[in-house]
Structure 1
Amino acid sequence: MSSGKSSAPVQRADLRAWLEAAIASADAALKPKIPSTATSEAETVAESSAASSGHKRKLVTVRRITAVTGIQKDNNMVEIDGWKVVVEKAKGFAKDSYVLFLEMDSFLPAHSPFEDLFCEAGPLVTFDGEDGYRVGTSAWTDWDGNEIVSQGHIFHLLHFRDINQKVCDLHFEHIHQTNEEFAGLLRGIDFTDDLGVKKWESFPETPATNTSEGSMIVEAATSNPKPPSFIIKADMERVQNCPNLFKKPKYQHFVFQESLKMDGSTMAVYFIPNDSPLFSDLPTLPAPDYSNKDTFLRYAVHPTGRLGVCTRQQDLLPHLLPSRTVPAHAHFWAAAVAANIHKLLPALNKPVAVHAELVGATVQGNPYAYPAGQHELFVFSISDLNPPPSPTGPNNGAIITASRRWHPRRVEQFAADKGLKHVPVLGYHTIPSVARHHQDLVDRAELKKGEGLVFKNCADGRWFKVLSSRWIREKGDEMHARKQAAAAKKGGGKGHDDVDGEARAGGKDGDGREALGWTGFSGMMG
């Protein structure tokens, strides 16, 4: 950690305000959650606690290097918490140094004061109408021919003087802390916005457009609003960012549901009764009539309430679908109707939401090789919906909701009873019964035929995911990023797999299907 001078005079009042906010945010992230003991009428086991903790992925953080190992003549493997990053030996990264760590899928803007550094992270690509550099995943071999998977990128702090100054001042404020305690404090502070970094996505969600198509009448709204605030987000932390998983004794006893992570698009189907206080939060819909008889409105309006379908970013207004401008949105509603959820939820007659993963021919590049036009959903959670509590104080920017997830076993049983497809459940067990450390979980995910694993704590509702680097490189984001870079003819970043490697992994189609023999999700599971 360098004490280099700031590139511009630091305003002490502004810095003090930033420090106070950063410390409060980090402290909030470190506070343990109290397991819920509330039970539903149908269950005797504890339901998962309110799960919308306001989790936001921190793409840029300051981390402490825990180990440096030589793997080749010119390269070292640096370990940062649970992450491994391959770096040039000439860069001089040393154990116990604090560095700026950028997680995989960070998109670094090209037109930035730091472009000379950012260009080291990956190939130049275009995302969201902007040129930049994507931090990715790459494979290396050590002296003995063992594969080393590098994920993320690191920079010396001294190259980012403003951030370095903030870290130095934080260290002075917490001089009494041990190195491990201070590293934990820094881990909770997000510097993503400081550098203008975005989350890169292979297939960003298409925004809704103002439209009036054919017989569709648009009276109350001309574009899709955001999902209602009572919908619990499916965001979860990666296992590499869970340093206490094998340290704190309590995690030795918690039972987790282990399930396969599917490479699809997250969706939620909700039902709100007419007499619920949540009903007033819903967007107004036109009355069903002959002019909108061919839309999905007829599935949304019920005598006792309203049904809705959400993507991660939008509440899909049923009277606007199907749409020629955004045809993909209709697949979410169609999958919900095909699964009979439009009848199952109203029958419960309470505010409730089914959370699922949509997979199919037009989703995420179709990694499961569905035939053209086919889509289906797989349930991974169900939640009872409640209005947010009245604010009683600052929540450090967290999104608070009183909605509660059902116990994972209850969700699995409900899906079986109602004929809904559930994401494949691999078992219920404690973490020590399947792994001794983080790398064991990573290796476990690599052996599965899927994007990775999801572990759901059956006691306190916390989830974490373990992604398969093999899937990412051969069928997921890394493959799609290489294709986009090749199509744009903008070259590749140093240390990244070449485009020819993509073709080798994917057979003649270059998408992994022929080489891996995966055809459809059921075929993949077989």
Structure 2
Amino acid sequence: MNTQLNLPKRKLVSVRRISSINKIPGYNSRLFHIDGWTVIDNDRDHKVGDLVVFFEIDCFIPIEGRFWDLAAGKSCSFNGKTGKHVKSWWLKGHLCQGLIYPLRHFNDIWAEYQEECAAVGLEQATENLLSRSYAERLGVEKWELDDKNAGLDNLGEPPGFLYMPAWWRIQDIDKKAFSHWRNKVWQVTEKLDGLTMTVYRVAKASNWGEQVGALPATAPDTMQDGEFRLGVCDRRRDYVDRPGNVFWETARASGVLAKLDRFGISNLAVQGELVGETILCNTMKYPKGVHEFLVFGIWDIDAKKYMAPKAAETLCRRLGIKHVPVVDYAPLIKFGNNASELLKKAEGLGQFGGLREGLIFKSLDGVEQFKVISNSWLQMTGKNAGEMW
């Protein structure tokens, strides 16, 4: 069974409504609840129901123009710019997961909203406002770790016919998840601290083969198999198979490359996590020189669909290919009744011994999926600024 995904698009900057406010004893700051997120702020003018511009964790905000006030805090450099990397942090047991500003402080957005209210009515204008992303407009980028693989020989960006997976964060879909999906059965897997990697095969005579084009004369024969073109890529690059390339070496060691003809799909992409000693923070504690590729999805390029999660796991087991650790197949309510309870379940050690990054939930039909990131993992890896005061 193949399934079509509802593709999420992360909104790093969006307009949201304050749902509740809590006092933090002993501090002037207050804890604001923004959908499933929590934000700590000193602004005493915010009220429940107010519209605010919300900047999620992982935003990189340039210190210029309207964001001059951020210059007083700790800054960093990213893509040649100086700015603020929005991280999560703690204040006496309370977690801050972003920044908020009053919507009225953004004169252009506020003016457009007022004009739209007059044109289509308050309800429709507000619905439109809440659905938009404002990251590009405000010059905000997604902050990324330094790219250690930039120097590897590559063919450019991954082919456009490959879907690069993305997952909603539970904080963004809290209400929907527990009002519509609470009794739905999910495949729950461990989220691994690695790099998304894709091993693909396309027929040279197909439209996809024409899109990837001919290999350069210096490319090794290992990048083709008879009538098929083979490739290995991450989210940024389609790599050339060269000695020392950890992507190709691990794809080969995993057995996936040699077994592509046994998946039952002519043009396919096998996707998973590249993990190991040199990958990111190695929170899974792999020994020196050890890397693995663990599958989390099988993409049918012609049908533009994923194989159903349980079928993909079963096929990997039959072929002797490692799959990401499956925690359970269970209804959502087994893991919690709200985002806060799910976040607690994301804590703990993974099956490989290190602190796990979190959990991935995929519906058995493969249509819906979301992630729950461990706050302890965020703190340990430096994606969290740590305990404040």
Shift in Å, 1:187: 3.0
CA–CA distance in structure 2, aligned partners of residues 137 and 85 of structure 1:
9
Given candidates 90, 98, 110, the residue that maps to 1:152 is: 98
2:75 is the alignment partner of 1:114: no
Q: Is the 8 A contact 1:255 1:459 kept in 2?
A: no
Spell out, residue by residue over 1:191-242, the C-alpha distance to the aligned partner (whole angstroms, 9 max, x if none): 0012100101123364457x7xxxxxxxxxxx52211122111111111111
Read off the aligned partner of 2:182 and give its amino acid letter.
Answer: Q
Read off the aligned partner of 2:365 and give its amino acid letter.
Answer: A
2:364 is the alignment partner of 1:409: no
Read off the aligned partner of 1:384 and give its amino acid letter.
Answer: D
Shift in Å, 1:243: 4.0
Q: Is the 8 A contact 2:178 2:337 kept in 1?
A: no
Q: Secondary structure at the match of 2:310?
A: helix
Alignment correspondent of 1:261: 191
CA–CA distance in structure 2, aligned partners of residues 243 and 182 of structure 1:
23
Q: Secondary structure at the match of 1:278?
A: helix
Read off the aligned partner of 2:4 and give its amino acid letter.
Answer: S
Q: Secondary structure at the match of 1:416?
A: helix
CA–CA distance in structure 2, aligned partners of residues 447 and 183 of structure 1:
40
CA–CA distance in structure 1, aligned partners of residues 19 and 185 of structure 2:
29
Q: Is the 8 A contact 2:204 2:210 kept in 1?
A: no
CA–CA distance in structure 1, aligned partners of residues 89 and 306 of structure 2:
36
Given candidates 324, 328, 338, the residue that maps to 1:437 is: 338
CA gap 1:357/1:410 in 2 versus in 1, 3 angstroms:
same
Given candidates 109, 121, 136, the residue that maps to 1:163 is: 109
CA gap 1:184/1:175 in 2 versus in 1, 3 angstroms:
closer
Spell out, residue by residue over 1:282-322, the C-alpha distance to the aligned partner (whole angstroms, 9 max, x if none): 132146xxxx6xx7x2322111311110110111133xx24
Q: Secondary structure at the match of 1:285?
A: coil
Alignment correspondent of 2:254: 339
2:339 is the alignment partner of 1:428: no
Q: Is the 8 A contact 1:108 1:134 kept in 2?
A: yes
CA–CA distance in structure 2, aligned partners of residues 456 and 161 of structure 1:
40
Alignment correspondent of 1:233: 164
- How does 1:195-206 map onto structure 2 within 5 Å? 195-204=138-147, 206=149
User: When the two structures are superposed, what TM-score results if normalisation uses the length of structure 1?
Assistant: 0.68
Spell out, residue by residue over 1:376-425, the C-alpha distance to the aligned partner (whole angstroms, 9 max, x if none): 11111111111xxxxxxxxxxxxxxx411011111111111122111111
2:349 is the alignment partner of 1:419: no
CA–CA distance in structure 2, aligned partners of residues 462 and 246 of structure 1:
10
Given candidates 16, 19, 30, the residue that maps to 1:66 is: 19
Root-mean-square deviation (Å): 2.4
Shift in Å, 1:50: 4.3
Alignment correspondent of 2:230: 307
Given candidates 215, 238, 245, the residue that maps to 1:285 is: 215
Given candidates 133, 154, 172, the residue that maps to 2:118 is: 172
CA–CA distance in structure 2, aligned partners of residues 202 and 238 of structure 1:
20
Q: Is the 8 A contact 1:109 1:130 kept in 2?
A: yes
CA–CA distance in structure 2, aligned partners of residues 455 and 182 of structure 1:
33
Q: Is the 8 A contact 1:273 1:349 kept in 2?
A: no
Q: Is the 8 A contact 1:63 1:183 kept in 2?
A: no
- How does 1:496-515 map onto structure 2 within 5 Å? 497=387
- How does 1:444-523 map onto structure 2 within 5 Å? 444-447=345-348, 449-478=355-384, 497=387
Q: Secondary structure at the match of 1:380?
A: strand
Alignment correspondent of 1:84: 38
CA gap 1:172/1:256 in 2 versus in 1, 3 angstroms:
farther
Unaligned stretches of 5+ residues in structure 2: 350-354
Shift in Å, 1:260: 0.8
Unaligned stretches of 5+ residues in structure 1: 1-38, 40-46, 142-146, 212-222, 387-401, 483-495, 502-526
Read off the aligned partner of 2:329 and give its amino acid letter.
Answer: Y
Read off the aligned partner of 1:84 and give its amino acid letter.
Answer: T
CA–CA distance in structure 1, aligned partners of residues 193 and 178 of structure 2:
30
Spell out, residue by residue over 1:107-131, the C-alpha distance to the aligned partner (whole angstroms, 9 max, x if none): 0112x212323346x6201112221
Spell out, residue by residue over 1:342-388, the C-alpha distance to the aligned partner (whole angstroms, 9 max, x if none): 111034461111101011122113222323322111111111111xx
Alignment correspondent of 1:273: 203
Q: Secondary structure at the match of 1:65?
A: strand
Given candidates 82, 85, 107, the residue that maps to 1:131 is: 82
Alignment correspondent of 2:352: none
Alignment correspondent of 1:509: none
Read off the aligned partner of 1:266 and give its amino acid letter.
Answer: T
Q: Secondary structure at the match of 1:337?
A: helix
Q: Is the 8 A contact 1:382 1:405 kept in 2?
A: yes
Alignment correspondent of 1:521: none
Q: Secondary structure at the match of 1:280?
A: helix
Q: Secondary structure at the match of 1:114?
A: helix
User: When the two structures are superposed, what TM-score results if normalisation uses the length of structure 2?
Assistant: 0.90
Larger Rg: 1
Q: Secondary structure at the match of 2:330?
A: strand
CA–CA distance in structure 2, aligned partners of residues 247 and 412 of structure 1:
26
Alignment correspondent of 1:17: none
Q: Secondary structure at the match of 2:371?
A: strand
Read off the aligned partner of 1:333 and give its amino acid letter.
Answer: W
CA gap 1:446/1:166 in 2 versus in 1, 3 angstroms:
farther
* Equivalent residues, number: 382
Shift in Å, 1:184: 4.9
Q: Percent identity?
A: 30
Shift in Å, 1:188: 1.8
Larger strand share, 1 or 2: 2
CA gap 1:207/1:184 in 2 versus in 1, 3 angstroms:
farther
